[in-house]
Amino acid sequence: MRRRVTGRGTAALLGVLLLAGGGLVAAAGPAAAVACDPENRLPDSDVDGDSVHDTVVGMPAVDDATGAVDVRGSGTAPLVLTAEALGAGTGPGQRFGAAVVMTDLDDDGCSDLVVSAPFEGQSAASDGAGGAEGQVHIVFGSPTGLLTTGAITLPHPSVPLDEFGTSLAVVSRTTGTGEVRDLYVGAPGAHIGAGAAAGQVFRYVVRPDATHRVSVTLAEVRHQGSAGVPGVAEAGDRFGSVLAPARGGVLVSAPLEDIGTVVDAGAVWHLAVTDDGAPTTSRSWSQDTAGVPGTAEAGDRFGSSLDARGFTAVVGVPRENVGRLVDAGSVQVLRFSPGRGRYVPGPGLTQDSPGIPGVAEAGDRFGEAVATGVWFLCQENVDLAIGAPGEDVGTKADAGTVTLVADGVPAGTPGCAPKVLRQGSGLAGAGETGDAVGSVLGHLTSPNDVDEDARDPLLLGVPLEDVGAAPDAGVVQPASGGLVANGVPGPALTYSGGARRSQRYGAVLSRPAG
């Protein structure tokens, strides 16, 4: 039976977390920000400019999939952001909040949000003609929190059924005239020639602008078979389903890509650009690529999850069979080689790999969610967080776990041994049947080039967690410490509007820029 989260239980957990320290806990009481400060050291995770990390949760399934975004400013009142508040499309099926990136686009020191609604326009197509084309909105931060006025909707030549905005990534790029951001938008439903849902990726260049906060220019659209992009656009590939910011470009996956005659084996691409933003030769990997362990197999879905930080990227393969263990799961590490100017394959990991805690079991889905960040585990190191939501914990089926691995660190390095987190052991709460901890991972970013003691806080979305009498209401919890919302620290966040049955809060966490 699942644990019911009550106010009394939450208070007890809070005491434990505050004693433990670390993570995101700050002193109680709202932090007053008089202005957004360009010198803010947390501009990519601080919407209200008070130098404390904020948490943003996408809720694309609420209100008949109209969608919303729950913005939990550390020093400002919660804001439930909707497309209607921005003057954008409304109605069921829009899925506003399906992807969210939090980063400072206008360089004022307060983080802004890039929010997608990949089915915006769905209601207009209810007569069966046309279909949703999707939209992406930029919403600006301020000392009073997120602003619902002055938002920008990206212009795009996408057409109905493209699902424009299914995935998002923002990558900083330093040019000869200063820093700009590349905003990548995945449209996996796009038709390429006769290939329905072959998929494509849009790249916009975003620059600070004194008049409109930012200027946004569409730079290119790429798909398989575009100049320099390996592969052939085929029906059902859904190229662009997942994006991750990377060095010198963006990582793109098509988990349903066929490798030869092997159906839905999956593949990942690095769409590269020069410092000046010119597209250059891209590379791709599958489990049939030289240097990548394993073999492409039907249904593996290589690239179901992606993340990158520093020189390390990780690819989730949650449907990988390990021996005869169906869907035990694996991950593939890619490392950027400055000398070669490209990513090269690193190790592949399963729960049977040397040094990895636990044992591979059928249905664990190791790699369903992945995250890379500084000091999840080992100080001044980029570490991996790997979710296994199908992992059984004792007698609790599918309670789920998260495994932390320090990438590239010699075995035996003090404090860097791989570790498994589960509720009740390393994580707040108690493991319960069906919670599926590890199904959603995210992290915030800290200025690691400034402070050697800074770390990227790791967040877990647990959308199947029961809250009080509301089954599957969902929570967001940190891997350590607590979260601060409206000046009040706590062990976890639930929806600011109140927990509801089957709400699945935490199914989408905001992504940081790269």
Query: According to the model, what pLDDT value does residue 449 have?
Result: 53
> What are the chain's domains?
1-154+457-514 (no CATH), 224-442 (2.130.10.130)
Query: According to the model, what pLDDT value does residue 448 have?
Result: 57
Mean local confidence (pLDDT), 328-332: 98
Classify the phi-psi angles of 491: left when phi > 0, otherwise alpha if psi is within -120 to 50, otherwise beta.
Answer: alpha
Query: According to the model, what pLDDT value does residue 133 have?
Result: 80
3-class SS of residue 382: strand
Low-confidence winner among 60-69, 113-122, 128-137, 426-435 (lowest mean pLDDT): 128-137
Answer whether residue 140 shows pLDDT above 80: yes
In terms of average pLDDT, the best of 27-41, 127-141, 191-205, 434-448 is: 191-205
Mean local confidence (pLDDT), 42-59: 91
Kindly report the pTM of this predicted structure: 0.92
3-class SS of residue 64: helix
pLDDT bin (cut points 50, 70, 90) of residue 465 is: very high
d(CA 474, CA 505): 4
CB within 8 Å of 196: residues ≥ 6 apart: 235, 236
Answer whether residue 105 shows pLDDT above 70: yes
Taking CA atoms, 311 is separated from 195, 201, 306, 387, 458, in Å, by: 34, 23, 14, 21, 18
